[in-house]
Structure 1
Amino acid sequence: MATGSTPPRFPRVALFDLDGTLLDSAPDMVATCNRMLAARERAPVEAAMLRQHVSKGARAMVAVTFPELDEAGRDALVPEFLQLYREELGRHSALFDGVAEMLRALEDDGARWGIVTNKAEYLARDVVAGLEWRQRCAVLVGGDTYPEKKPHPLPLLEAARQLGVEPCDCVYVGDDERDVVAARAAGMRSIAVTWGYRLDGEDPETWQADAMATLPHALLDPTAWPRP
């Protein structure tokens, strides 16, 4: 807590995962998988089951949708998934309640924020454009922007480099254990959020993040963010 008359401030740079952290993108992915199933005259997927796997990426979505396929069969369907997903992108998804206010609070405090996601960069850029964030998002790193993706620290380190700051000046916020692992390896503080997508049995308490948040509104309070 701050002492005296100086109010606490947000970190100078906040970096975020995208799916399951800022954006509830599961409805877009459910629609994509159901289009694939409908084309094969099969019943829709159970949305609640699919939601758990959203943070795991396109291959996980295909694996849940077509559990009878082997790895090669699933990989063969990934291009179809990505093509249809781009068509569904932003049609059904929405920001998690409180995210818009949180980002505005960061900006009002003079902080910069950006996105480091394992989503392909071209898809992430489509999302950012659809949300009218292109002028607000200070940096965007996708899962294929660099040779490594999370949990490797390289995407976070490159985001800090692009912004001209040290990793220790950043806080990374995500809903998956690999977000915390990547932040720790990059020398960044981390916040694990519990409103995103997790498999049964995944316990954020065990990830050893520097802080946890159960609702985006909690991050409107500067004291909820970990300090150096």
Structure 2
Amino acid sequence: MTVKFPRAVLFDLDGTLLDSAPDMLAAINVMRAGRDRPPMALAELRPQVSRGARAMAAAAFPDVDADQRERWIPEFLDHYQQQLGRHGAPFEGVEAMLARLESAGTVWGIVTNKPEYLATRLIPLLGWQERCAVLIGGDTLSARKPDPLPLTVAADRIGVASADCVYVGDDERDIIAARAAGMPSVVALWGYRLPDDDPVDWRGDVMIDDPIQLADAAAWPGTR
């Protein structure tokens, strides 16, 4: 029996395809400098990146009232926009994995909770604008992950049934969304996680340590 790659793959962005933590850190440290605080270390911020701007703001300013931090989110997003693509890069092995998928005829796209306008500006900086078949941001639709709607809409837009599409993500919300959408899932263990996170509990279909492993068709769920 011939082992084949999935017909389509959808990826989370931050922490899955892209190591964006350095860009996020640069934005956070601009904010900290403006408030006479020393720079934050990358290791402190990295586990929070997949949880979004509010989690990163809470890690950077734990002594600040949550309502005040909420008012700072637009400022953070403005600073982050200035840092887009300047410090981060695709994880090692991602480009080779994407090239292998493309050579096998697999269609791929991105479903992220990052605001659409930021994701749209970032993709060309990575050279993916002609390769990424669909892009759904966190505010593209009426719901975001862990709701399955972004995944089902993305599959529909590329003309593939959810069951024939695999979702790859590094956060529990990704796996919850995939399960609810009826998609097989891959847990990206190379991504961003808090120390007390246990990916086994997420019940993804497979767990993968390194992106380059996904250049092998046999590593994907449903191909064994």
Establish whether TM, by shorter chain, passes 0.5. Answer: yes
The partner residue of 2:130 within 135, 154, 171 is 135
In structure 2, what residue type is equivalent to 1:62?
Answer: A
1:196 aligns with 2:198: no
The partner residue of 2:211 within 192, 199, 216 is 216
User: 2:75 maps to which residue?
Assistant: 80
Aligned mates of 1:227, 1:117 — CA distance in 2: 24
In structure 2, what residue type is equivalent to 1:152?
Answer: D
Local SS of the residue matching 2:58: helix
Moved more, 74-83 or 39-48: 39-48
In structure 1, what residue type is equivalent to 2:208?
Answer: A
Local SS of the residue matching 1:67: coil
The partner residue of 1:119 within 114, 118, 124 is 114
Local SS of the residue matching 1:101: helix
The equivalences for 1:16-165 within 5 A come to 16-165=11-160
Local SS of the residue matching 1:164: coil
In structure 1, what residue type is equivalent to 2:213?
Answer: A
The partner residue of 1:176 within 171, 174, 194 is 171
String of CA shifts for 1:25-76, please: whole Å, max 9, x gaps: 0000111010001111211112101101000101111111111112211101
In structure 2, what residue type is equivalent to 1:132?
Answer: G
Aligned mates of 2:133, 2:114 — CA distance in 1: 17
In structure 2, what residue type is equivalent to 1:222?
Answer: A
Aligned mates of 1:145, 1:200 — CA distance in 2: 31
String of CA shifts for 1:96-138, please: whole Å, max 9, x gaps: 0000000000000011000000000111111111111111000
* Cα RMSD, aligned residues only: 0.9
Q: TM-score, normalised by structure 2?
A: 0.98
Local SS of the residue matching 1:182: helix
Moved more, 113-122 or 68-77: 68-77
Q: TM-score, normalised by structure 1?
A: 0.96
Question: What is the aligned length?
Answer: 223
Local SS of the residue matching 1:53: helix
Identity of aligned residues (%): 57
Q: Deviation at 1:140?
A: 0.3
Runs of 4+ with deviation above 2 angstroms: none
- In structure 2, the gaps of 5 or more residues are none
Q: Deviation at 1:145?
A: 0.3
String of CA shifts for 1:1-36, please: whole Å, max 9, x gaps: xx3xx3x11101000000000000000011101000
In structure 2, what residue type is equivalent to 1:149?
Answer: R
Local SS of the residue matching 1:60: helix
Local SS of the residue matching 1:178: helix
